[in-house]
């Protein structure tokens, strides 16, 4: 049985909130490690001491504020998921887990989606939410 680490997440969240630095240069279609937290029920949680997982920068909403799509290497099917390959690893973008985050949650840039993969995710998003 997995024990949730809500108190540890709250501590990290407080530290992230207190960070003062410039927002990194981020482009739509990039993949970043982001602290998405210890979440409830079927919501995707992060891993490691940073409660992080790779996310796709789907849209820049404002300076330092982004709409992101979490990813998983657990391959799933259905309209909520879009499969793609990143560095020879099959990955799923979890469209139903879309969320907005502040730049202070971003840790490290992992790479950038191929144009065709990012377009496939956009189409999946439009089909799911239109």
pLDDT tens per residue across span 25-45: 999 999 999 999 888 877 788
Q: What is the pTM of this model?
A: 0.91
Cα 118 to chain center, whole Å?
14
Phi, psi of 60 (to 5 degrees): -85, 125
**The pair of three-digit structure tokens given for residue 120, joined into one six-digit string:** 């496939």
**Do 70 and 86 contact (CB within 8 A), yes or no?**
no
Query: Which sign, positive or negative, has the C-alpha torsion 39, 41, 45, 48?
Result: positive
**Would you place residue 96 in the very low, low, confident or very high pLDDT band (cuts 50, 70, 90)?**
very high
Rounded Cα gap, residues 70 and 76, in angstroms: 13
Distance, CA of 72 to CA of 127 (rounded, Å): 20
Tell me what the pLDDT averaged over the chain comes to.
Answer: 92
Confidence of residue 1 (pLDDT cuts 50, 70, 90): low
**Phi, psi at 114, each rounded to 5°:** -65, 150
Domains, the chain, in order of start with CATH, read: 6-129 (2.30.30.110)
pLDDT tens digits for 40-89? 877 788 888 898 999 999 999 999 999 999 999 999 889 999 999 988 89
Q: How many residues does the chain have?
A: 130
Burial of 51 (0-12, 13-18, 19+ CB in 10 A): buried
């Amino acid at each position: 049985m997995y024990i949730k680490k809500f108190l540890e997440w709250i501590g990290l969240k407080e530290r992230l909130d207190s960070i003062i630095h410039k927002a990194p240069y981020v482009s739509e279609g990039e993949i970043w490690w982001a602290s998405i937290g210890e979440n409830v029920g079927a919501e995707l949680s992060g891993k490691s001491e940073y409660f992080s997982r790779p996310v796709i920068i789907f849209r820049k909403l404002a300076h330092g504020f982004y709409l992101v799509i979490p990813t998983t290497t657990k391959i799933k099917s259905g309209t909520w998921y879009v499969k793609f390959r990143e560095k020879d690893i099959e990955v799923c973008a979890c469209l139903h887990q879309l969320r907005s985050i502040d730049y202070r949650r971003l840790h490290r840039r992992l790479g950038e989606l191929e144009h065709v993969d990012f377009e496939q995710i956009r189409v999946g998003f439009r089909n799911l939410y239109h």
